[in-house]
């Protein structure tokens, strides 16, 4: 049996309550949660309601601890290298603002870097005088490793890229970047928001020092969850920009001691229900197998593209040789926001991506606001056909 056919789609859809009501093609925004994720959160909220928040956390301490092990297994890391956070932005910021920069240092990034990350670069440049430099793309539109290698010198302090950009459908060569970073001894921060839950991830193979990810996208976890991976060797030198008595216990009147593990990047207060939901989502993905998920996502993405290419006035805006389950396009003469609104009225969820979400890439390619369709393994071919039929109807009437 090939990877595409390994998954029991009917069973997976039955396990996903939202599929009974809508065609959900916005998994790059937030996926529909499966039943075990929903149950894990509800069960804990019920426990909090009956026993109290602190008491419920104590009762579920072992299950909460197991979430770290599940996330570690997902990315081939150690439990002590994982911090759980409120979202991917917090995870990424905790990693970035722990870096020490000074005037003349260089940050290297990709042209399709996400806005949330790039504005942090700009703030750091304003504060410290660090420079931000964009690595050129190759002929496919992905980051060019040869160009990156040519830019390396002793002033490069950080390589920070988004593995799968928010639009464009490309997968940047994360492992090739890691080889260059290791060769030059430069810290490598990888934004894996759109990758986790969609691709197999092995941080040892990638060679990143830091990786930030979310729970709500292709991992199918709840909103308000994320995690940070910190390579064990980095823990000897990294201190969070902000700490509390969880990440850095107060051990003397004038002393604190940072935790020896990645949880130094956490704070004491946590949403335990959401974390248990994240753990359930990770276990669900691991149970299905990331190779099978990847194959199914590619199959559905190919189907979306083939159907869109048949429609009049449609322009695909995808890049890259390696493809993600994100399809970006625009329809000549029609506003993307209006099309999304009309599809929403027809119980079809898609998203839009505005130029300022990836300003450098959008400016270089003169991108309009694009429609973004992101299928996941639980979507059916029939759903994609219904989406395309609806879109064709909108185009014909517009």
| Tens digit of each residue's pLDDT (9 = 90 or more) over 151-198 | 999 999 999 999 999 999 999 999 999 999 999 999 999 999 999 999
pLDDT band of 101, cuts 50, 70, 90: very high
Q: What is the pLDDT of residues 246-265, one digit of tens each?
A: 999 999 999 999 999 999 99
Question: In the predicted model, what is the mean pLDDT of residues 49-58?
Answer: 98
Q: Is the pLDDT of residue 5 over 70?
A: no
With tokens 């969070």, the residue in question is 240
Phi-psi region of 185 (alpha: psi -120 to 50; beta: other; left: phi over 0): left
Confidence check: pLDDT of 2 > 80: no
For residue 358, the Cα-to-chain-centroid distance in whole angstroms is 15
Asked whether the CA dihedral 67, 17, 340, 310 is positive or negative, the reply is: positive
pLDDT at position 3: 61
User: 366's torsion region: left (phi>0), alpha (psi -120 to 50) or beta?
Assistant: left
- pTM value is 0.97
Query: Between vectors from CA 193 to CA 120 and to CA 118, what angle results, nearest 5°?
Result: 20
SS3 237: coil
Query: CA-to-CA distance for 193 and 183, rounded, in angstroms?
Result: 25
Distance (Å, rounded) from C-alpha 95 to C-alpha 89? 10
Residue 291: pLDDT above 60? yes
Q: How do beta strands 82-85 and 226-230 pair?
A: antiparallel
What's the DSSP call for residue 357? Answer: G
- pLDDT for 6 equals 83
């Amino acid at each position: 049996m090939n990877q595409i056919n390994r998954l029991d789609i009917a069973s997976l859809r039955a396990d996903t309550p939202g599929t009974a009501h809508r065609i959900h093609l916005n998994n790059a925004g937030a996926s529909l949660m499966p039943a075990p994720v929903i149950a894990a959160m509800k069960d804990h909220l019920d426990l909090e309601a009956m026993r109290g928040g602190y008491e419920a956390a104590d009762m579920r301490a072992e299950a909460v601890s197991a979430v770290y092990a599940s996330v570690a297994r997902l990315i081939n890391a150690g439990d002590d290298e994982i911090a759980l956070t409120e979202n991917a932005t917090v995870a990424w910021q905790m990693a970035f603002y722990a870096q020490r920069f000074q005037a003349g240092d260089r940050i290297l990034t990709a042209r399709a870097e996400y806005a949330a990350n790039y504005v942090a670069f700009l703030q750091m440049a304003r504060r410290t005088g660090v420079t931000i430099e964009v690595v050129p793309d190759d002929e496919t539109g992905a980051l060019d490793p040869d160009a990156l290698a040519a830019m390396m010198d002793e002033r490069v302090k950080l390589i920070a890229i988004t593995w799968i950009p928010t639009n464009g459908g490309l997968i940047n060569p994360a492992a090739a970047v890691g080889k260059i970073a290791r060769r030059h001894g430069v810290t490598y921060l990888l934004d894996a928001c759109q990758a986790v839950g969609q691709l197999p991830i092995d941080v040892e193979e990638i060679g990143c020092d830091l990786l930030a990810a979310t729970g709500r996208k292709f991992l199918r976890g709840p909103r308000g969850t994320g995690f940070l991976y910190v390579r064990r060797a980095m823990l000897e030198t990294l201190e969070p920009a902000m700490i509390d008595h969880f990440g850095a216990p107060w051990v003397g009147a004038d002393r604190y001691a940072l935790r020896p593990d990645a949880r130094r990047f956490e704070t004491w207060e946590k949403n335990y229900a959401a974390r248990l939901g994240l753990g359930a989502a990770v276990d669900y993905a691991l149970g299905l197998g990331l190779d099978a998920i990847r194959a199914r996502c590619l199959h559905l993405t190919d189907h979306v593209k083939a159907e869109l290419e048949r429609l009049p006035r449609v322009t695909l805006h995808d890049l890259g040789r390696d493809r993600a389950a994100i399809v970006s396009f625009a329809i000549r003469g029609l506003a993307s926001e209006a099309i999304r609104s009309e599809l929403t009225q027809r119980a079809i969820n898609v998203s839009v991506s505005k130029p300022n979400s990836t300003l450098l890439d959008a400016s270089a390619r003169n991108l309009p606001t694009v429609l973004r369709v992101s299928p996941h393994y639980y979507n059916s071919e029939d759903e994609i056909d219904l989406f395309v039929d609806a879109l064709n109807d909108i185009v014909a009437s517009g």
